């Protein structure tokens, strides 16, 4: 079966430095892939290349059978690739409900969306996503008063309102408390039933909890890929990444 996302021999240089070096990856629909590796391995750059934020020096990215390598960022987003960044982009003065409503449409003017959409489809979707993100009781609150964890969950909800087929997340549990991490793991386990996910993460406990497949990058290349058990048993991964993590 072809992957929902296929990365073929991707390379990217900044000036003369090659930071992504002949990297290939296939993500099968319905799986949660964790992308791990030491600092500077090229994980964020890979996400930027998938979403079209930057363009590769060579290689290609295929999504749902379409070559999206040359497409602009907004076209790739509309094709069904959503991304949650580490720094939340919620509108703090709007309520949780309003933030989710704004995210429902991919139109460029958020306030226009806020007044335009009053469809039953929106209400159903909003309820569904608020439940998934554990925010049902917070729908009427101003987003600015949410805790760090709740803000992250709201942002996940906002990306989901756009119904991505593939969702990318950058270090989603950074700065969270233990109980917030547990709740986030539960959200991801639910989420992966309907959405394909690529999650960049350093916390191997969390990776162990959520990943179907773990992809390890090192110096811009694929070092290893497999189940968490395969990865933890791989001496090359222990050498360049896990050993360093255990020592930290």
Query: Interface residues with ligand ATP (CB under 6 A)?
Result: 14, 19, 37, 39-45
Closer to ligand ATP by Cβ: residue 45 or 69? 45
Closer to ligand ATP by Cβ: residue 37 or 56? 37
Contacts for 93 with CB less than 8 Å, ≥ 6 apart: 142, 143, 144
Closer to ligand ATP by Cβ: residue 42 or 82? 42
Closer to ligand ATP by Cβ: residue 37 or 157? 37
Integer Cα distance of 229 and 84 in angstroms: 27
Integer Cα distance of 151 and 165 in angstroms: 22
Residue 133: CB minimum distance to ligand ATP, A: 25
Integer Cα distance of 154 and 134 in angstroms: 9
Residue 115: CB minimum distance to ligand ATP, A: 38
Residue 40: CB minimum distance to ligand ATP, A: 4
Closest CA to 126 of 117, 88, 84: 117
Residue 127: CB minimum distance to ligand ATP, A: 35
Residue 179: CB minimum distance to ligand ATP, A: 25
Integer Cα distance of 9 and 22 in angstroms: 4
Closer to ligand ATP by Cβ: residue 15 or 137? 15
Closer to ligand ATP by Cβ: residue 54 or 122? 54
Residue 65: CB minimum distance to ligand ATP, A: 27
């Amino acid at each position: 079966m072809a992957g929902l996302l296929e990365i073929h021999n991707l390379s990217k240089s900044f000036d003369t430095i090659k930071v992504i070096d002949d990297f290939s990856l296939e993500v099968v629909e319905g799986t949660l892939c964790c992308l791990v590796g030491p600092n500077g391995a090229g994980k964020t750059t890979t996400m930027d290349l998938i979403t079209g934020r930057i363009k590769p020096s060579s290689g290609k990215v295929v999504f749902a059978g379409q070559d999206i390598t040359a497409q602009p960022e907004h076209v790739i987003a509309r094709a069904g690739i959503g991304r949650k960044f580490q720094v939340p982009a919620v509108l703090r003065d709007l309520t949780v409900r309003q933030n989710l409503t704004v995210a429902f449409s991919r139109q460029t003017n958020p306030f226009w969306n806020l007044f335009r959409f009053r469809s039953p489809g929106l209400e159903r979707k909003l309820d569904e996503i608020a439940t998934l993100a554990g925010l049902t009781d917070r729908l009427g609150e101003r987003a600015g008063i949410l805790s760090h964890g709740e803000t992250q969950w709201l942002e996940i909800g906002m990306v989901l309102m756009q119904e991505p087929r593939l969702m990318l997340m950058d270090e989603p549990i950074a700065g969270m408390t233990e109980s917030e991490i547990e709740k986030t793991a539960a959200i991801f386990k639910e989420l992966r039933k309907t959405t394909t996910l690529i999650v960049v993460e350093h916390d191997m406990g969390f990776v162990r909890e959520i990943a179907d497949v773990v992809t390890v990058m090192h110096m811009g290349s694929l070092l290893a890929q497999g189940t968490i058990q395969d990865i933890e048993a791989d001496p090359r991964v222990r050498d360049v990444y896990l050993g360093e993590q255990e020592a930290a």
